[in-house]
Amino acid sequence: MYVTPSPQLSNSFNAGTTQNVAGKRIYEVWKGSNIFFCGGRLIFGPDVRSLLVTLVLIIGPVTIFCVFVGRHLRKDYSNGVAIMIILVIHTFIVLVFLLLTSGRDPGIIPRNAHPPEPEEEMNSPSEWSGGQTPKLRLPRTKDVIVNGVTVKIKYCDTCMLYRPPRCSHCSICNNCVERFDHHCPWVGQCIGRRNYPFFFMFVFSTTLLCFFVFAMCALRIKKLMEGDPPHTVWKALQRSPASAFLMAYVFLATWFVGGLTVFHMYLIGTNQTTYENFRYRYDNKANPYHEGLLRNFKLVLFSGIPPSKNKFRSKVQLEVPNIVPTVQSRESIDILSPNRKAVDDIDIGDKSAWSTLVGAEAYQDVHARNSTNGSGNKVLKHGYEDAFAEALGGEGSRGGAFRAPVSGSNR
């Protein structure tokens, strides 16, 4: 199996390019298009308003049933109260699955703080020659082996990472999502590895709710047809327009959520995602993720929810460049500096060579500070090397903040 590489933490920000983020939390400076509630505890897609429509489509019919149909069932049947309790509990379960689907991290892969290291082209020289540097490139795709099958993974320019297998970048949420299935406008969220089981249970439980409401409304119509005096079906529907409306409503809804349930049961049984089914079509080639019917259901629905890779409530961590004054080696000066002779002169003890290497003004300042102060005492008693170090490093130069490039023989 392919193991997802660990990207750099998404709560890292470059101090040189990021402003006004110190002290803030990750969700407050999030680069995706998500919307957060409850202090970053709930994460939704940018189209979270469509969730309100879904809530109305679920709670509205249930409320109509309780007010106009359920009260008659309580009178007509001894277990009418149990019918109402079952309906309310079932509706509550549907809403819980909806919230777990819509309000959680679907499996967002953290963005890299920096792009990965480019690779040197195979045919380019490994050493610099003729003033030319080797050509570095960042491959757009890479090949990985998944269960013996070669799978291509793509580089994401937005997240600056190579997407793991089955990962895709959602253009709506602007995030790379692990095991991306699709972006569902009805729940206002991407469907990925961390919320797909809840999405399936939401669709499945909603289908069962439609069946239950339809059956209870039909029971109400049947009771009217058997009443005294008896009624025809048309007369019974006229006596209970709420039942007629709900039966028509859930009949249409069942075609949608019921068909969606059957389709996703097929996807789970073959271990596919909606994105893979519509784009890749495994009909004519091997599916590297298919491990048998029962095994697929276990992997998708009962393998547990992995922890989120993002800590939205954590404080932003600034990447402060670790600038340590260093002295260039002789070889680096050979390449990058024309003052090779000055370096050689310093190594053999020629103090005047400092003016060539560091500039005349800096040298004169060092020389003046190392002269006598009128009473015959030296201001600095450690030679030009320490004088130059103190001129650059200030009072802490003696503590090792900066040391001039001097030869050990001259100390």
d(CA 336, CA 343): 13
Report the run of H or E that residue 96 belongs to, with start and end: helix 80-102
d(CA 215, CA 77): 14
Sign of CA dihedral 221, 222, 228, 231: positive
The DSSP result for 251-291, as a single string, is: HHHHHHHHHHHHHHHHHHHHT--HHHHHHT-GGGS--TT--
Environment class of residue 80 by beta-carbon count within 10 Å: exposed (0-12), middle (13-18) or buried (19+)? middle
Place of tokens 């569902």: 184
Environment class of residue 355 by beta-carbon count within 10 Å: exposed (0-12), middle (13-18) or buried (19+)? middle
- Assess contact for 231 and 239: CB atoms under 8 A: yes
d(CA 321, CA 51): 43
**Chain-centre distance for alpha carbon 234:** 55
Query: Looking at the annotation, which residues are catalytic?
Result: 184
Amino acid in position 228:
D
Question: Could you give the dihedral angle defined by the CA atoms of residues 172, 178, 182 and 183, in that order, rounded to the nearest 10 degrees?
Answer: -30
Cβ neighbours for 94, distance < 8 A, ≥ 6 positions apart:
58, 202, 205, 206, 209
**Chain-centre distance for alpha carbon 177:** 6
Cβ neighbours for 42, distance < 8 A, ≥ 6 positions apart:
36, 103, 104
Name the nearest CA neighbour of 163 among 174, 150, 177: 177
Q: Is 102 helix (H, G, I), strand (E, B) or coil?
A: helix
Measured CA distances, 247 to 27, 31, 82, 252, 378 (Å): 44, 45, 21, 9, 103
